[in-house]
Amino acid sequence: MTAIPSVTAADPAAVDASFREALAHFCTGVVVVTSLDGSQRPVGMTVGSFTSISLDPPLVGFYAGRTSTTLPHIAGRGRFCVNVLAADQHELARTFAVSDADKFAGVGWFRGRDGCPRLTGAHAWIDCSITLRQTIGDHDLVVGHVEALAVSGDSDPLVFHRSIFRSLKDAS
């Protein structure tokens, strides 16, 4: 058996060079978190760090970079919608991953029960109110209490692996 060279925290330069590559081997789901800004205009961002936290009470969470221009709007509103993207929505994921763009131009959406945008064609929607925002390293953890949700159909989810958007069918 061949030994695989490892990188340790004692060598920060090597960690910096290898960290993203190592994490790229972990497959994540892809969601777009949406809300409204202070002028009631839609805002949103692509997130690959979404997770279920608790069933009782129903809580979900995501991490956003502290330099995000969208996160302050979401936090200011105190509410957000998690749009679980379907396998065919990779272009939508790219659109919402860009900073300082009109992300909703040409995008189909409608207002959820609390006004937050629900993206047309999303696999599922989860409406939440923020219960916690905690700075951790260079990101903020945002925890939301699930207030409403819907699954739109039987589509496969969009996943991100090795820096490429994929469908589950790609893995078979």
pLDDT given at position 2: 65
pLDDT at 171 over 70: no
pLDDT given at position 150: 92
104: containing domain: 31-163
User: Is 4 inside any structural domain?
Assistant: no
Overall average pLDDT of the 67-83 stretch: 96
pLDDT tens per residue across span 91-105: 999 999 998 778 999
Domain count across the chain? 1
pLDDT tens per residue across span 114-147: 999 999 999 999 999 999 999 999 999 999 999 9
Instruction: Tokens 């919608």: give the residue.
Output: 81
CATH number at residue 104: 2.30.110.10
pLDDT given at position 164: 74
pLDDT given at position 46: 96
Overall average pLDDT of the 19-38 stretch: 83
User: Is 149 inside any structural domain?
Assistant: yes
User: Is 19 inside any structural domain?
Assistant: no
User: Is 152 inside any structural domain?
Assistant: yes
pLDDT at 161 over 90: no
User: Is 170 inside any structural domain?
Assistant: no
| 111 vs 21, higher pLDDT | 111
User: Is 12 inside any structural domain?
Assistant: no
| 74 vs 153, higher pLDDT | 74
pTM: 0.88
pLDDT given at position 31: 96
What's the mean per-residue pLDDT of the chain? 88
User: Is 21 inside any structural domain?
Assistant: no
User: Is 113 inside any structural domain?
Assistant: yes
